[in-house]
Structure 1
Amino acid sequence: MKKLNLFDKFVFFLNSILATTLLLSYILPYIEPERSAFVSVLSLTVPFLIIVNILFLIYWLLRIKKQLLLSLIVLLIGFNHMASLYKFSASKQVEDKDNIAIMNYNVRLFNVFNWLPNKNITAEITAFIKERNPDIISMQEYRQDSDLSLKDYYKFEVLSGNKVKNGQAIFSKFPIINKGSIEFPNTDNNAIFVDVVRAEDTIRIYNVHLQSLKIDASTDPLKNETSENLFKRVGNTFRLQQMQADLFLEHKAASPYKVIICGDFNNTAYSYVYNTIKGDDLKDAFVEAGNGFGRSFDFKFFPVRIDFIMVDESFIVNSFKTFDVKLSDHFPIISRVKVK
């Protein structure tokens, strides 16, 4: 520090705080929101903390200062967190006749309240789906709409609400032999499932939509709400998500079939609910085969990935892609998987 000028000393002070915060964030996926909702809220800032520490590293590298070791060591300790934010390797693309193409898409009610100026959202989403031709489609914030014409699919939907009935839907090109819903108390969010038959395999597909944070992606979260109230509200949401994840996992544990999980978790890959749902027996398709940031939510401040496709050990993940299609506040994701 003796050889640093006053400005560099200030930069290193900020660097120390943010590097320490990132280091502490590595334990967040193991802290139940019920125990400390405030601490769990910090999981939302992990992408920001990683990016800022990379910038500090670059700053000290250009200055040829040993202070670069602080952020470098912290980033290396959390290398798995880095992999969840950004995949440096090329995306995996394995073409196989036995691939099953799975799409997850939060369609935001097909723009029924005109959040986007585009008046042809439903038709464009339909055209996008037909072009990509997935075998399975998992939709959140779905509503019945006569313009959504997917005649080649079997469908299961669970809707609620008064003004606009909405909920979750699963479309499948494979016959559906069983279906059901896992109800979450005191909310319109839920998880649904279908059992489909594909060749000699029966596969259970889950569509999980956890409690929403209700943060507008296009505005500053603090603009109309104090930071104290925001933390309190988000903390309460995380407690609900924990309860919903527990209900889902109880149902999943009884599944007799191979399992694919799709959904909008309304939380990041650094959260308790992600860590709990993924566990040790599931594979995150983005981590297995994606590249880049993989952001799935159109948040203007930093890349956020809250939509997921996971598979159990019965599957090989052969590809994953996020599509920069601005027809919702979420981006569609598609993975191709193969039964081993």
Structure 2
Amino acid sequence: MRKKVSVTFYYILVIWLLLAIASMRIPSYYFWLTGFFLFTTPIPLVLNLVYLFTWGWQRSRLVIMPVLVIVFAWNYYQRGLTLNFNEKPSEAKAANLPKTATLDVLSYNVRIFNTYAHLQDKQATNSRDMIKWVAENSADVYCLQEFYNEPQSSVYNSVQKIVKKYGKYYFISNTLINRVNGQFGMAIISKYPILNKGTIKFEKLTQNHAMFADLKIKNDTVRVYNFHLQSMSIEEQDIINTYREQNLFGKDLRKVLRRLKNGFIKRSYQVNTLYDHLKDSPYSVIVCGDLNDVPYSYTYQKLNRQLLNAHTAAGWGVGSTYNGILPLLRIDNQFFSPALKVSNFKVHHDITFSDHFPLTATYIISQ
């Protein structure tokens, strides 16, 4: 009887996983509950491993079922916990390639360099250190989200400190200018010439958008995209209140769920707009940005349909990119065309200036 119940539950588990995989293909504007359902995807993946070890320990012939599920769902396991057994160290491998054959890319949500008072001390030490770290980074290309430049400021004149001081090429898309002429937006900064550039607008009444730049790299041209999709808009205090204060539980929980729902729907539209643009690119692409969504989501799946993910291709482990109270969130990504190769990928967990960790990858442009 116990064995029958166990097998029945396993069948339910497999159906659960299949429904989750199918739901990744359904945009939330068609059925928004899929966004919440996809948060549960790691559960059947983990429980399948429990069955694997349990039936393996019991030497049961049923162990073949979780083995087959792992083979079928390996790519989805890799999204949550990447295991790359390729030749290491990949950095040494990249170093042996001709320099003209590689492109080092930094992607970083810099949180407007912490310009707001509640994010900063009186000397703006954090902002100074972050701008200095970005400016001195050895990457060939920077894709910066939530970029901020205040030309008259000695602290936040980021274009002068990051771009002009080093003679780099740049493209900045400004979405807002404040009363001190501070410019908010995104930036693509490159040591290589920019042949063409443009902005991809999503919907009205949003500052979220994407941008691209065609970079001339010796005899090759690569199109680099930088994007920032709709935020989850969840305040950490809302999460704390949901668990700590009973009188606020219902109110804050409803607020969190409502914001999540709106985010699922908006990101579905936005990623479709981005995808429609990049799929027609005449060049190989590198797509960097703040997805604001987990690897088991429609937005991730949409980009992964045509592109490879740098973390799953060359990274290791969970690769969490969010620097906050919610653990293990990988919401920042770099994707790339199959015609390219990635030889190294790293999330810099030691760089804690922002609420996001910076990502760097080395791409092989030509052999």
Could you tell me the TM-score, scaled by structure 2's length? 0.78
Counterpart contact for 1:38–1:231, Cα < 8 Å: no
Match in the other structure for 2:357: 331
Match in the other structure for 2:319: 294
Match in the other structure for 1:184: 202
Q: Cα distance, 1:299 vs. partner?
A: 4.4
The gaps in structure 1 that reach 5 residues or longer are 4-8
Identical amino acids, percent of aligned pairs: 28
Q: Cα distance, 1:20 vs. partner?
A: 6.0
Q: Cα distance, 1:60 vs. partner?
A: 5.2
Counterpart contact for 1:263–1:308, Cα < 8 Å: yes
Q: Deviations over 1:274-331 (max 9, x none)?
A: 2112323x11111111111111112434311111111113311111111011111111
Match in the other structure for 1:238: 264
Mean CA deviation greater in 233-242 or 320-329: 233-242
Match in the other structure for 1:6: none
| Equivalent position SS for 1:215 | coil
Answering whether residue 212 of structure 2 is matched by residue 206 of structure 1, we say: no
Match in the other structure for 2:245: none
Question: Counterpart amino acid of 1:327?
Answer: F
Q: Cα distance, 1:154 vs. partner?
A: 1.4
Match in the other structure for 1:82: 77
Question: Counterpart amino acid of 1:252?
Answer: L
Q: Superposed, which structure 2 residues align to 1:145-294 within 5 Å? A: 145-147=156-158, 149-150=161-162, 151-152=165-166, 153-161=168-176, 163=178, 165-185=183-203, 186-216=205-235, 220=239, 223=242, 225-280=251-306, 282-294=307-319
The whole-number CA distance in structure 1 between the counterparts of 2:126 and 2:116 is 11
Match in the other structure for 1:306: 331
Question: Counterpart amino acid of 1:112?
Answer: T
Bigger fraction of residues in helix: 2
Match in the other structure for 1:53: 47
Match in the other structure for 1:134: 139
Answering whether residue 45 of structure 2 is matched by residue 40 of structure 1, we say: no
The gaps in structure 2 that reach 5 residues or longer are 150-155, 243-247
The whole-number CA distance in structure 1 between the counterparts of 2:111 and 2:67 is 39
Give the structure with higher Rg (CA): 2
Equivalent pairs, count: 333
Counterpart contact for 1:319–1:336, Cα < 8 Å: yes
Question: Counterpart amino acid of 2:227?
Answer: V
**What is the CA RMSD across the aligned residues, in angstroms?**
3.4
Q: Deviations over 1:185-212 (max 9, x none)?
A: 2200000111111101122111011111
Of 11, 14, 22, 1:27 maps to 22
The whole-number CA distance in structure 1 between the counterparts of 2:281 and 2:294 is 25
